[in-house]
Structure 1
Amino acid sequence: MHMLASSEVLRLDIISTAERLDHLACMALLDEASLEHKPGLVCPSSQGSHSDMDFSLFQSSVDALQGYFQAQCLNGYRNVELEKIRQCGILAEQKMMSATRQINTHKGAIFNLGFASAAAGQCLAANSQLNAGSISQKIQNTWRYDLLNHLQRDPNSHGQRMRRQYGITGAIEEVASGFKTVMEVALPAYTDIYAKTANIQQASIQSLFSLMAYVQDTNIVWRGGLSALYLVQDIAKQFLARGGVLQQHWVKDVSKIENYFVQHRLSPGGSADLLGVTLFLLKVENEFRNHI
């Protein structure tokens, strides 16, 4: 009886931790959507380059996703096969689309944070530390090969069409790498600026621009071709070279970029998705008191 009670306590503890992770994932998505001065992207004061979505739609979308990240965390804990993780994601996508009148607000987040949550579950099963590095490693060790070789890809998705047409990689490759760009570009940018300013908004914007300078964003390529991608990367690099958010008048600088992006209907959605991952990993680090 004692052994049964002990395992039952562990099970409830795992469910509780999975619930906490679900909350952190939803909060990361809300924080990303709430961040002002994101060029071309939806925020509370602007629709960015999007005529079909606004901030309230993003809030409805996040509400619809509550519970999904807990489910994926428990999937990881139980070490289910990839297909079960994929099916769980498809159900969440259907729920999201129903809540947003068939507008894709968080398809990237469902994929990215779904695997991050499943990897967190694997960390719990292995009784290893719950932090960005261990989540990244678990993804690579468990799913890298299957993601790159066996995952059913939608040939009509924007990402896959851009892959065929231009040979650029997208979300699947980024997840398979254990979020290499987040680990090597976005997190260091965030922690550097936060250490200097203690300002979450500035650290988040610097992180976003660091991603925009680096990511092969299929959202940008879909809207404007490779020339638009190179232009966005160049604009972001120039902003960072001027000092980024450490400039005295950085908001004025970003406002000009925002206007340009809206005029040319540019939206760095792929970078925004990875900012969501960055904020989630930071929340995990903070919640479970491990430091990057």
Structure 2
Amino acid sequence: MSVNVLLTPASEALSSKQAIWQQIDDFALDALYEEINLENKPGLVCPSGNGSHTDMSYDTFIASIKSLRGYFATLSAFGYDNRDFDDIKNTGIRQETKMRHATNNINTHKGAIFNLGFASAAIGKCLQGNEPLTTKNICAQIVKNWQYDLTQRLERKADSHGQQMYQKYGVTGAIEMVSTGFQIIQNIALPCFYETLYRTQDFEKAAMQTLMTLIASLSDTNLVWRGGLSDLRNAQTMAKQFLQAGGVHQPKWRQAVRMINRYFIHRNLSPGGSADLLAVTIFFYKVENEFNPSI
């Protein structure tokens, strides 16, 4: 016997919102899968190798991504429901514990939990205000709602890599990146991704061109931690030279990337901050094109 369930307007609205939260969750996870599956990222874990990492592998990242399912949907709903900053922060802390349980205490996606978490919450804010889901609007919501809390109230652990690099070199990290609304993504990375994808119709090329643009432009605290300012500058120079030679538009771009990858591995360098921002860039691209197809 079949039963027809009649939805009230309130339940229909709830069902619609929950579908959107799930879609945001899927986009965030998809962006993380796209990032880890990009081959030959300099110094980074990919399907064919561990880059400069001896403590993690491709399988570690896959287990980590699976552990994140549902988290981004939760934070989207938190943003929509005006939940307190502390609720968002504490949910992120619990999610990091869950991630570390899945990875045997290896930090694979702490950056994603933070970056994509606030991006997801900001999407909830946009939906609450009936604002189009553009990167500009999403980032503006982060600045409007959480910049003060992020910069003034969020505890900064003195022994963290980011804080040590700030104290030693004055290099800022993820907190400043998020609290100012991902300026490097808005102004550099996302335009690069769109332009390359339009020109090549190739997602892999767009992702690699964007990653190399981020490495060339970002004062990546992961690079500074592993090699100091000199290796950061060398990494940025190599990325800039790759781009000046045509980037992914040159005939043998994969060979050029592999040479950079070998150097990074030799120097034990890993641009983890750039990889995190590549995932955020891909996430914004997916959100914009799903909800604003005319972009």
Shorter-normalised TM-score: what interval? over 0.9
Q: 2:55 aligns with which of 31, 52, 65?
A: 52
Amino acid at match of 1:23: D
In the alignment, which residue of structure 1 is the partner of 2:43? 40
In the alignment, which residue of structure 1 is the partner of 2:288? 285
**Separation (CA, whole Å) in 2 of partners of 1:26 and 1:65:** 8
| TM-score normalised by structure 2 residue count | 0.96
**Separation (CA, whole Å) in 1 of partners of 2:129 and 2:13:** 13
Specify the SS of the correspondent of 1:267. coil
**Separation (CA, whole Å) in 2 of partners of 1:149 and 1:5:** 43
Give the CA deviation at 1:79: 1.1
**Separation (CA, whole Å) in 2 of partners of 1:55 and 1:238:** 28
- The gaps in structure 1 that reach 5 residues or longer are none
Residues 100-155 of structure 1: CA distance to partner in whole angstroms, max 9, x if unpaired? Answer: 00000000000000000000011111111112121111111111122112212222
Give the CA deviation at 1:192: 1.1
Specify the SS of the correspondent of 1:227. helix
Give the CA deviation at 1:8: 2.6
**Separation (CA, whole Å) in 2 of partners of 1:278 and 1:138:** 17
**Separation (CA, whole Å) in 2 of partners of 1:114 and 1:160:** 21
Specify the SS of the correspondent of 1:260. helix
Give the CA deviation at 1:5: 3.0
**Separation (CA, whole Å) in 1 of partners of 2:190 and 2:229:** 26
In the alignment, which residue of structure 2 is the partner of 1:96? 99
In the alignment, which residue of structure 2 is the partner of 1:168? 171
- The gaps in structure 2 that reach 5 residues or longer are 1-6
Tell me if the contact between 2:40 and 2:258 (Cα under 8 Å) persists in the aligned partners.
yes
Tell me if the contact between 1:14 and 1:124 (Cα under 8 Å) persists in the aligned partners.
no
Specify the SS of the correspondent of 1:123. helix
Amino acid at match of 1:21: I
Q: Percent identity?
A: 48
Residues 214-263 of structure 1: CA distance to partner in whole angstroms, max 9, x if unpaired? Answer: 11111011111111111111111111111111101111111110111111
Is 1:127 matched with 2:135? no
In the alignment, which residue of structure 1 is the partner of 2:74? 71
Q: 1:229 aligns with which of 232, 236, 239?
A: 232
Residues 34-58 of structure 1: CA distance to partner in whole angstroms, max 9, x if unpaired? Answer: 0012100000011010111111111
Tell me if the contact between 1:162 and 1:168 (Cα under 8 Å) persists in the aligned partners.
yes
Tell me if the contact between 2:132 and 2:292 (Cα under 8 Å) persists in the aligned partners.
no
Residues 189-209 of structure 1: CA distance to partner in whole angstroms, max 9, x if unpaired? Answer: 111111111000001000001
Q: 2:197 aligns with which of 194, 198, 213?
A: 194
Give the CA deviation at 1:159: 0.5
Tell me if the contact between 1:38 and 1:205 (Cα under 8 Å) persists in the aligned partners.
yes
Q: Report how many residues are paired.
A: 289
Specify the SS of the correspondent of 2:107. coil
Tell me if the contact between 1:158 and 1:222 (Cα under 8 Å) persists in the aligned partners.
yes
Give the CA deviation at 1:290: 3.9
